[in-house]
Amino acid sequence: MSPEQDGVVKLAKDLEGINLHNVPNPVKERRKKSSKRKIIPTSSLIRPSSQQKNGYLEGSPEFTRVPYTSFLHTSIRSFPTKSPTDIFYESKEVALFTDNQLYVAARKDVVPNLKKDISHLYESPLLEARKLKALYLGHDLFANIDELVPMTIAELDTIAPCISYIEDWRLNNPGKPFKIGKKFTVVTTRHHIVDLTMHLFDRRNKQKSLIATYMGNGFISLSRNPKYDHKMSKVGIYSSDPNIKKICYSGFELENCLTENTKNSGSSDSKCPVFSIVEGKLSEDIGLLMRCEMDAFNPVSKTNTELKCFGPLSMQNSNHRKKLLKTWIQTGLLPNSDIMIGLRDSYSGQLLDIQWYSRDALFRKFNHPGLPLNKKEMNYNAKVAVEWCNHCIKSTCDLVEANISHYNCNKPEPFEVNIDPNGTIIITKLNIIPRNVEIFKT
């Protein structure tokens, strides 16, 4: 588990039980049990029906919430034989960023490469795979826990790599406007998108909160809500509980164990994170510029490999299915990704097995009709997750659009975006730009 994800998992867990003071009573909406596609009901709780258009008025300054009922989705029981379509209809890696420096996307030598034998694990038959990983099994994943220097909350959340990429792009394209979507370009770290998406599949999450800042000229940045920083600084890798720390640490140790040192990792004690900058398009109108932390690159298959360290998995356990859905979403945001899971013995910390998955194979593991139906958490349905991810981003853009003073405003306008336990997305205008919001030129 990378510190990036870990922070997110813990932050999400931590949002439990927090009530927002400025959010009106949530509209009680029952999720339909029907397996058919939903129909948009007019939500009379929002405004008089004479003014309604799909439950709200577009462009109206009073448009501050998107009710859950406007989310149309596939049946939670439907499992296509093929992995659901990608989250973006178009997406590409445009650059790499590490140690304050930008590199072209092809410079995979700055990414930790998988060790030679491990890089051959993909698609290798069982017997051969057994030989390839033999050397690594039994490795103590709790071994060097004292050497760990975790990323700070600010490092975890910075979009500096994206800003650096935009500036570089402008230098190379003088006079041209940088734009991914015709209307909006959302600049964000990957974990915010993963986090929004997982909201629907985690009943422990009471609500989700983010800062969306309209920077002008169609740029929207997403940042964490600093209101909850005090909670985040006590969880996950920052936790004082030695057992939680150990489990979080094992993810880092797995990365060290399976990858070669890169040139930039020798200089200091802690590994310098490497980010891929990804341009994704949700629609012609909405584009994203995303910072994705990378674990490893496979020089043989030429894929980005996401490394995960889990305890032994059982698909009868809904939390495990949730973890795999999260991994599937995460890897769906970075083009050309596959997954390698290191299974640890929770007590001794020994590495028990290393399993390789394509995204398709992973999808088939947690999404098939033979598994017990979990209605409360939308059956961890991957297709519904893709639809919900699209819905969240689109709704955020719609809400921002309806509440900004002007498309070409020259002063950043910050908003708090919350998703309540019922899945209603609510926007609140803020008077002050939170201190962690990174301002950039548009």
User: Both tokens of residue 61?
Assistant: 């300054």
Stretch that binds Mn ion, among 82-90, 299-307, 312-320, 389-397 (CB under 5 A): 299-307
In this complex, which beta carbon is closest to Mn ion, that of residue 259 or of residue 381?
A: 259
In this complex, which beta carbon is closest to Mn ion, that of residue 258 or of residue 378?
A: 258
Q: How many residues bind Mn ion (CB under 5 A)?
A: 3
E strand or H helix that includes residue 110: none
Q: Least CB distance from residue 56 to Mn ion, whole Å?
A: 38
Residue 298 CA: distances (Å) to CA of 101, 294, 373, 386: 22, 11, 35, 26
DSSP label at 210? Answer: E
Residue nearest to Mn ion (CB): 2
Distance of CA 364 to the CA centre of its chain: 20
Q: Least CB distance from residue 48 to Mn ion, whole Å?
A: 49
Residues 6, 157, 295, 398: which binds Mn ion (CB under 5 A)? 295
In this complex, which beta carbon is closest to Mn ion, that of residue 3 or of residue 84?
A: 3
Stretch that binds Mn ion, among 77-85, 292-300, 359-367, 404-412 (CB under 5 A): 292-300
Q: Least CB distance from residue 94 to Mn ion, whole Å?
A: 21
User: Both tokens of residue 409?
Assistant: 């405003």
- Tell me phi and psi for residue 397, to 5 degrees: -65, -45
Q: Least CB distance from residue 344 to Mn ion, whole Å?
A: 14
Q: Least CB distance from residue 112 to Mn ion, whole Å?
A: 11
Q: Least CB distance from residue 339 to Mn ion, whole Å?
A: 9
- The answer to whether residues 282 and 181 touch, using CB atoms and an 8 Å cutoff, is yes
In this complex, which beta carbon is closest to Mn ion, that of residue 327 or of residue 403?
A: 327
Stretch that binds Mn ion, among 118-126, 214-222, 290-298, 372-380 (CB under 5 A): 290-298
Beta strands 274-281 and 219-224, pairing class: unpaired
Stretch that binds Mn ion, among 1-9, 53-61, 78-86, 148-156 (CB under 5 A): 1-9
Contact between 279 and Mn ion per CB under 5 A: no
Residue 398 CA: distances (Å) to CA of 213, 214, 262, 387: 13, 12, 42, 16
Stretch that binds Mn ion, among 18-26, 191-199, 266-274, 293-301 (CB under 5 A): 293-301
Contact between 387 and Mn ion per CB under 5 A: no
- The answer to whether residues 384 and 200 touch, using CB atoms and an 8 Å cutoff, is yes
Q: Least CB distance from residue 14 to Mn ion, whole Å?
A: 20
Contact between 307 and Mn ion per CB under 5 A: yes
Q: Least CB distance from residue 410 to Mn ion, whole Å?
A: 39
In this complex, which beta carbon is closest to Mn ion, that of residue 295 or of residue 338?
A: 295
Radius of gyration, CA atoms only, the chain: 22
Q: Rounded to the nearest 5 degrees, what angle is found at the Cα of 64, between the Cα atoms of 58 and 67?
A: 85
Q: Least CB distance from residue 10 to Mn ion, whole Å?
A: 15
Beta strands 413-419 and 425-429, pairing class: antiparallel
Beta strands 286-294 and 184-189, pairing class: parallel
Stretch that binds Mn ion, among 28-36, 175-183, 289-297, 311-319 (CB under 5 A): 289-297
In this complex, which beta carbon is closest to Mn ion, that of residue 237 or of residue 384?
A: 237
In this complex, which beta carbon is closest to Mn ion, that of residue 307 or of residue 389?
A: 307
Q: Counting Cβ atoms within 10 Å, is residue 51 exposed (0-12), middle (13-18) or buried (19+)?
A: exposed
Give the C-alpha separation, 166 to 201, whole Å.
Answer: 34
- The answer to whether residues 315 and 371 touch, using CB atoms and an 8 Å cutoff, is yes
Q: End-to-end distance of the chain based on CA atoms, in angstroms? A: 34
Contact between 2 and Mn ion per CB under 5 A: yes
- The answer to whether residues 5 and 231 touch, using CB atoms and an 8 Å cutoff, is no
Contact between 259 and Mn ion per CB under 5 A: no
Four-residue CA torsion sign, 275, 386, 225, 251: negative
Q: Least CB distance from residue 268 to Mn ion, whole Å?
A: 21
- Contact positions vs Mn ion (CB under 5 A): 2, 295, 307
